[in-house]
Every structure is written in C-alpha cells, then in structure tokens.
C-alpha cells in the first residue's frame, strides 16, 4: 500500500508528472519506504549520496550546521516533495546538506542509479531535470542578491507576507526564531526587535511561531517592490 502511495505522489511531482508509467516503475525500482520520528536524520551532509527522498507524510527540514554548531534551515518539505535529487548528479557524490524529520514522517528512498538510468533512457526527463536545476540556481542567485541589497525589515516583511499568501492572516512559522534569523541573514536580537516594534505598531500579534497579520498593507509598504519580472 505504501508503494502505491509513493507511486501516486511521485507521478504528481512536477519533475516526473505526465511521464509514462514505465518511467515511474523504473524510478521506484529497489526503492524502500521508511518511517522517521522527530529529529531523525535521513541523510547527513558529507555522507555518500546514494539515494534521494520523497516525503510521503510529515515534514522534512533541509539544513546545514555552522562551525559554531548553529543550524541554518534552507528548506522545509512536505508531502509530495522531493529532496536531494540534485545531489544525485554532484561529481563528489556526497550530500551537500542534512535532512531531518521535523516530526513523525514517512519517507520513500529512491536510488541514484535508477535516476541516472532513467535520464539516459528518457531524454525528456533529463531535459526537464536540467530546467528544474537551472530554476533553482536562478532562485538562489535572487535570494543572495535580495539579502545583500535589502534591509532586515524588508526581508522579514516579505517572508511573512509569502507565508500568509494573498488573502491570509494567520501564519505558522515553519522554523524557530533562531533558525529564522539565520535564514533571513540577521541577528536574533534584530528579529526580536522587529517583532516587538511591529506588535507595538499594531501590524502583527502573536509569539514564537504563531502570528496574525493585523495590517498587511503596512508590511507591504515595508517590503517595497520585491518581485522580479522574470
């Protein structure tokens, strides 16, 4: 039953969507489904990259640890999302980051060799993979540029507005405040000051991970024109 679910999720993932069933069957060959508890490491930075993962249930954090032990969260993946597919093609053959279950999770581990073989057999899959990886590189370039050229207040405003969505008010932060500060390129004290000031101004209310937008227009003005045309 778990393998059937994994096949359905894999077929809905953008990279593999609309490919013939034989492609999914080839990708899932020798795959295995595992269960994880909160804090379990699914793969570790520097370890041999033998498989990539499909999140079937729960959430998975993608992170790195700094020299001082602080961790930086690069992404939070939910059901139907894939992690470490790009690592399957890195020349050094090692994971560049760590994956950790945020809570209880069910994961499907798919093999590196099967992905390579499918790319050789199905050129359209290889081209789609290249397009996806190119888009990721472009996004990272934009993120670096945004961190360098924006203020801490702008970055936090954009982050909260993106989480809330076009009509949302309630926000549940996927990471704790220390991790959020690292992700947005600011000190934890700066983040706390912004939260406190915006609460005093009546723009937001809440604490820790749970927040409510009271004045989204004010945050939009802080964020400014942060969207690129392409």
**Residue ranges of domains in the chain:** 2-125, 149-223
pTM for this predicted structure: 0.79
pLDDT digits (tens, 9 = 90+) for 82-132: 999 999 999 999 999 999 999 999 999 999 999 999 999 999 999 999 999
Residue 21, SS3 per DSSP = helix
pLDDT digits (tens, 9 = 90+) for 28-38: 999 999 999 99
CATH class of 149-223: mainly alpha
**Quick one: pLDDT at residue 226?**
58
pLDDT digits (tens, 9 = 90+) for 207-227: 888 999 999 999 999 988 655
CATH 2.60.120.10, applies to 2-125: yes
> Could you tell me the two tokens for 67?
């020299």
**Quick one: pLDDT at residue 227?**
54
**Quick one: pLDDT at residue 74?**
87
**Quick one: pLDDT at residue 88?**
96
User: Shortest CA distance to 125 belongs to which of 18, 198, 25, 45?
Assistant: 18
Question: Mean per-residue pLDDT for 9-27?
Answer: 92
For 42, phi then psi, to 5°, come to -90, -35
pLDDT over 90 at 62, yes or no: yes
């Amino acid at each position: 039953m778990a393998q059937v679910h994994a096949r359905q999720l894999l077929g809905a993932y953008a990279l593999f969507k609309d490919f013939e069933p034989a492609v999914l069957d080839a990708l899932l060959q020798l795959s295995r489904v595992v269960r994880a508890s909160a804090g379990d490491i699914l793969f570790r930075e520097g370890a041999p990259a033998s498989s990539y993962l499909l999140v079937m249930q729960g959430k998975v954090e993608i992170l790195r640890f700094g020299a001082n032990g602080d961790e930086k969260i690069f992404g939070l993946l939910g059901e139907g999302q894939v992690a470490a597919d790009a690592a399957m093609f890195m020349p050094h053959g090692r994971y560049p980051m760590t994956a950790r279950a945020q809570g209880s999770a069910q994961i499907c581990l798919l093999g590196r060799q099967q992905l390579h073989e499918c790319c050789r057999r199905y050129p359209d899959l290889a081209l789609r993979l290249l397009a996806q990886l190119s888009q990721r590189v472009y996004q990272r370039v934009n993120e670096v540029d945004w961190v360098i050229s924006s203020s801490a207040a702008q970055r936090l405003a954009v982050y909260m507005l993106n989480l809330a969505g076009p009509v949302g008010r309630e926000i549940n932060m996927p990471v704790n405040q220390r991790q959020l500060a690292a992700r947005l390129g600011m000190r934890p004290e700066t983040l706390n000051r912004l939260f406190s000031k915006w609460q005093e101004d009546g723009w937001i209310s809440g604490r820790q991970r749970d927040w409510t937008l009271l004045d989204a227009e004010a945050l939009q003005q802080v964020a400014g024109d942060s969207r690129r045309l392409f």
